Amino acid sequence: MKAVILGGTKGMGRALARRLVEGGHHVFLLGRHEEDLARSVADLSVRGAEGASQVGSAPCDLEDPETFTGALDAADTALGGFDTVIVTAGLFAVQARLEADAELARRVLTVNFANTVVFCEAARKRLLSRGGGTLCVFSSVAGDRGRKPVAIYGASKAGLSHYLESLDHKFRGEGLVTVCVKPGFVKTGMTAGLSPPPFAGTPEAVAAAVLTAIEKRKPLIYTPSAWRWVMWVIRCLPRFVMRRIGF
C-alpha cells in the first residue's frame, strides 16, 4: 500500500501511520505544522524496515484549500503514485464554546465538512484517473442523530458522512472504495479534559480496526464496535425522548 495520511501526526492518525509502516507499507504524511511532520517522519523511519525511504511528508492545511494540490503533487512524486488516501484531520470544540464563538463554529463547519469534501474530491479524481484505490475518511458517531451536546460539531460530521456514503454508491463500480470511519469517544489529545464514557477507545485499537476495514473494503465501520449498537438504539429513539435526555 502507498498511503497518504492527512492528520497522521497525532492521535488516531499517528497510530494508523505507525501500523502501516510497521506492516511494510509506504506512508506520506500531510499536516499543518512542519515541526510535527518532521518529528513524525523521524519516528516512523525508525519503525520501518526501509527507514526514511519509506516515509515522506509535505505541508497541507485543511483551513487552506490552496495547499491541497501542491500536497497531493508532492505525495504523488515521492510515492510514484499513491493508491490509498486517509483523512483523520478535523476540528473539535464542545457545544458551549461553539455557541459562544461564531467564528470558531464557522471554522469547525468549514474544516470538517466543506474543506474536507474539497480535499476528498481532489484525491478522488487522482485515484480514479489511475483505476481506483481507497479513500478512508474519519467522520464521527456525532453525526448519526441530532443531539444536544454536539449540535454544531455533529452537523459537520453528518454532512461528511452523507457525502462519503454517496461517494461509495457512485464510484465503487469504477474501482474507488470509500471507507467511512465513525469513532465513538477515543482517548486522544482532542478529547483531553472530557470525561470518557463507557466504551471509550484508544488510538491503537481504532487503527487496528481501520486497517481491517480497508483490507476488507468495508464502506462503514464504528469503532469501538459497541458504538454501532449504541447508535442504533439512539437512532430509533423518538424525538420527545431525545429532548428529555442529555445524550
| 146-174 pLDDT tens trace | 999 999 999 999 999 999 999 999 999 99
pLDDT of residue 52: 76
Q: What is the pLDDT of residues 130-140, one digit of tens each?
A: 999 999 999 99
Alpha carbons 47 and 139: distance in angstroms, whole number: 28
pLDDT of residue 188: 74
Task: Give the active site residue among 153, 163, 185, 227.
Answer: 153
Alpha carbons 63 and 134: distance in angstroms, whole number: 23
Dihedral in degrees, nearest 10, Cα atoms 107, 113, 117, 120: 90
On the CB side of 133, CA atoms within 13 Å amount to 21
Are the C-beta atoms of residues 86 and 177 closer than 8 Å to each other? no
The cell for 52 is: 526514511
Other CB atoms closer than 10 Å to residue 124's CB: what's the count? Answer: 20
pLDDT of residue 200: 78
- Whole-model pTM: value is 0.93
Alpha carbons 244 and 226: distance in angstroms, whole number: 23
Average pLDDT over the chain reads 94
Alpha carbons 246 and 186: distance in angstroms, whole number: 19
The cell for 34 is: 512542519
The single residue listed with the C-alpha cell 518529528 is 39
Angle between helices 102-109 and 151-171 (to 10 degrees): 10
The cell for 127 is: 485515484
Diameter of the chain measured on Cα atoms:
57
Are the C-beta atoms of residues 203 and 186 closer than 8 Å to each other? yes
Q: What is the pLDDT of residues 58-106, one digit of tens each?
A: 999 999 999 999 999 999 999 999 999 999 999 999 999 999 999 999 9
122: pLDDT strictly greater than 90: yes
49: pLDDT strictly greater than 90: no
The cell for 179 is: 471507507
pLDDT of residue 192: 67
What is the CA angle 61-6-80, rounded to 5? 110
The cell for 119 is: 480535499
190: pLDDT strictly greater than 90: no
Say whether 153 is catalytic: yes
Dihedral in degrees, nearest 10, Cα atoms 137, 141, 145, 150: -100
Average pLDDT over residues 204-230: 95
29 sits in which H/E element: strand 26-31
Express as a percent the part of the chain with pLDDT over 70. Answer: 97
